């Protein structure tokens, strides 16, 4: 666990570093990834909550987490698809990398822009790979959550819940009395 934490922290540290040294100011590489990963994290949390509700026998409440989950998966997947496949260099990671690569090859960039172009091309392609990885991971988690929920509803074996039961605090008890 310590090793995997170090890998994840190092990876995000790398992105912060290349964001700082990015000739365009770092926002171009960090902001799209932050937006995608933030929404995917929310969708994963909703997956967990939906799975817990279903496995806890509270299927009638699962829609409270399932509806926002469906919305987030659709919106995030669509936005990621647009960032990957858009032909507009202002939108698509790969389109931006290809456009800059074509300009570099044609020799139409100023010397200062030509000097940083390879780094910008690499950053755009790395963003594309990571965005694809993030959305693939999201779909893997959603599909697994659906698989576990379906197995539970059919009465088949699923991993047990490991959540501790809710115990009211003194504050909750005092509030309930008042």
Per-residue pLDDT of the chain (178 residues; tens, 9 = 90+): 788 889 888 887 877 777 767 666 666 677 788 888 899 999 999 999 999 999 988 999 999 999 999 999 999 999 999 999 999 998 899 999 999 999 999 989 888 888 888 888 988 898 899 999 999 999 999 999 999 999 999 989 888 887 777 788 888 888 877 6
Neighbours of 94 (CB within 10 A): 18
Q: What is the pTM of this model?
A: 0.78
Neighbours of 50 (CB within 10 A): 24
Domain that holds residue 48: 2-159
Residue 88 within any structural domain of the chain = yes
Number of domains present in the structure of the chain: 1
Residue 177 within any structural domain of the chain = no
């Amino acid at each position: 666990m310590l090793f995997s934490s170090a890998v994840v922290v190092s990876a995000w540290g790398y992105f912060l570093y290349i964001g700082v040294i990015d000739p365009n100011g770092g926002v171009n590489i960090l902001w799209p990834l932050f937006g995608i990963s933030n929404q995917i994290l929310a969708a994963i949390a909703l997956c967990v909550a939906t799975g817990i509700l279903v496995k806890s026998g509270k299927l009638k409440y699962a829609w409270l987490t399932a509806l926002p989950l469906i919305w987030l998966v659709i919106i995030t997947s669509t936005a990621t698809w647009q960032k990957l496949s858009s032909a507009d260099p202002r939108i698509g990671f790969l389109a931006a990398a290809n456009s800059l690569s074509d300009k570099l090859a044609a020799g139409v960039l100023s010397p200062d822009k030509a000097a940083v172009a390879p780094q910008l091309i690499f950053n755009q392609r790395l963003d594309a790979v990571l965005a694809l990885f993030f959305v693939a991971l999201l779909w893997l988690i959603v599909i697994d959550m659906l698989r576990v929920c379906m197995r539970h509803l059919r009465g088949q074996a699923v991993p047990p819940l490991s959540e501790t039961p809710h115990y009211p605090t003194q504050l909750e008890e005092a509030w309930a009395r008042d």
